[in-house]
Amino acid sequence: MSDGPQDAPDKSPAPSTSPRCRACQLQLCKSRSERPHAALTESKGDSMMRGTEQQFLCKTCGATLINSSDLAKPGWRHQR
């Protein structure tokens, strides 16, 4: 017999579900012309990347950040 939904009433201050490290969080707030933070290493994206986007891999948290020079897109964004 189950007791209904188990919605752990924990009061942990976990800020949503963000596995990104602080440097990456900050990076996403920066403008497209800002350089990647120190732990970001450029990685070659797939052929889907049409030259307007650079892909970076964070050595700290493993997140993949995209820097786009396409004005229709955010300068920095996170890719899952």
- Residue from 58, 67, 75, 76 touching Zn ion (CB under 5 A): that is 58
Written as one letter, the residue type at 35 is R
Q: Identify which of residues 39 and 53 has a Cβ nearer to Zn ion in the complex.
A: 39
Angle at 22 between CA 75 and CA 68, to 5 degrees: 15
Q: CB–CB of 39/21 below 8 Å?
A: yes
- Short-list 77, 80, 47, 52, CA closest to 65: 77
Site string for Zn ion, 17-56 (x = CB under 5 A): ----x--x--------------------------------
Q: Which is nearer to Zn ion, 58 or 76 (CB)?
A: 58
Interface with Zn ion (CB under 5 A): 21, 24, 58, 60-61, 63
